[in-house]
Structure 1
Amino acid sequence: MRGGPWARLFEREPALFAAGLRGATIAAALWLSLEVDLRWTSLPKDATVSAAGLVVPTAWWSSPALLWLGRALLWGGAATWLIGHARTVRLIAAWATALGMLTLGSLYWEDLPWFRHKFVPPLWLLVVLVAHEHARAEPGQAPRWVREGAVFVLACFYAGAGLNKVLTSGWRWADGTALQLWLWRLGDSDSLVRAWAIGDARVAAALATAALAIELAAVLLVPLPRLQPWLAAGLVALHVGIDQVLHIDFRPMILLVVVVLLPWPEWWQRRRARG
């Protein structure tokens, strides 16, 4: 294994990235947990949409007890994970945090009449971080697969979003018609971007094409690391635009994109070396 093509994944690097990823992922998960409530439980349920929904009885998803159990696991586990020092305590806390996020995300998905896809990346990043807690410990060091795994999670998420658009609607999704419909129904009526896109099909097509191109380009995050800062800028711009026009809060995802895709650990180390 050490001499094979996967050897680079098991090299050691300063633990700064892993520590930053843990803090950012926990912050994103806690922020998203504040969105979870039971206001949609009265709506008719259709197909099961989460893995946990295949195991937990349908009637449980409208249970306040399950909601509070998920919150307790997530918030209690996260706090213990951040301040704990004993390895066993950290392992238990890490698993509790991931299980809490899985519970809350699944509960929300099973009760909502639509998807909240932004719950997916924090959960999978928590899985990567839980695996890191099981890895061989070296003070101040972390295996490189933590960083590569985090990049892989975002690459799958964003490229999958773009691929899903192509598979369901074809390349005509980029003509902007679907975007115009979304903006007409849900967009901020005071937004100039909304008015331009609805009033001019060319503007809508340009915006839709740019969004689709950025999402599909995420497949390059793993094989071409030098593109990561540029794609990070594109993804942040995409999220900010959606937030401003459709008022969908993507701040947790913006945080994760910045922490995972920008080389801030190297910037920090160079600054310390000069100081």
Structure 2
Amino acid sequence: MEHNGDWKTLSNEALTKEEKLKWAKVCYPELVQLVQLLQSSTYTVVLTGAGMSTESGIPDFRSQSGWWKNIDPRKVATVDALEEHYSLFQEFYQTRVKALENIEPHIGHYILAKWEKKNLIQAIATQNVDGLHQKSGSKTVYPLHGSIRSFRCHHCDQAVKEEVFMNEDSCSICGGKLRPNVVLFGETLPSDVWDSAYQSIEQADLVIVIGTSLEVYPVNELPSLTKGKTVLVNVDEVSGFYPFDVIVKGKAKEVLEKLNELLEL
């Protein structure tokens, strides 16, 4: 996305809608192309990753700067860690739960919820476990990696409240270890959620991937399922993996705001 024009041009009341669109086509051709795809699609699915949440203030635990106590989360967020190093596992997830206490959806989340109400998009599949899409009002959300906002016993699956996990209690039914309902490294994705996301993307005319490097299997295979158009919205390109029809470079919040403005012209 080339920033070779002043975006405030869109608010210039002296210009007609046609003049504004002509300007946008010259300065932001990828955005205009994506708007046209959105408007012509009958079934659109959005796939989001960590880049959708970081602008709400949630750390990216996969990045070097986001590592917790310099420990790779891929070594802490595992079944082995839960079973063999539970105190470390528990502290890691307690830290993540506490980090969400004052986190709210950003305007990009609300824009996607509004698009769903307007029937511009039909579903959101997300790798994020923070629940911000649901909190912003999106209804059809497939949390592929589970939710960090609910908890259960690892051994008997008894549901427990957040405060029970945070208080470092054991399961009142079997005495087992408690955990958030997230998919740990090495675990399979929840089959019902995966199947719903899979079927939605298979029938989509348009799949918009936002804020993910597509490094994690099997979610990184989802964009290839559609016979429709695919778009990547990300700070960096995903090199050597998938030939997207349109690539929009930029942060999720900023790009969604601009897209929404163009849609409302």
User: Do the two structures share a fold, i.e. TM-score over 0.5?
Assistant: no
Which structure shows the bigger proportion of residues in helix conformation? 1
Which structure shows the bigger proportion of residues in strand conformation? 2
- TM-score, normalised to structure 1, is 0.24
- TM-score, normalised to structure 2, is 0.25
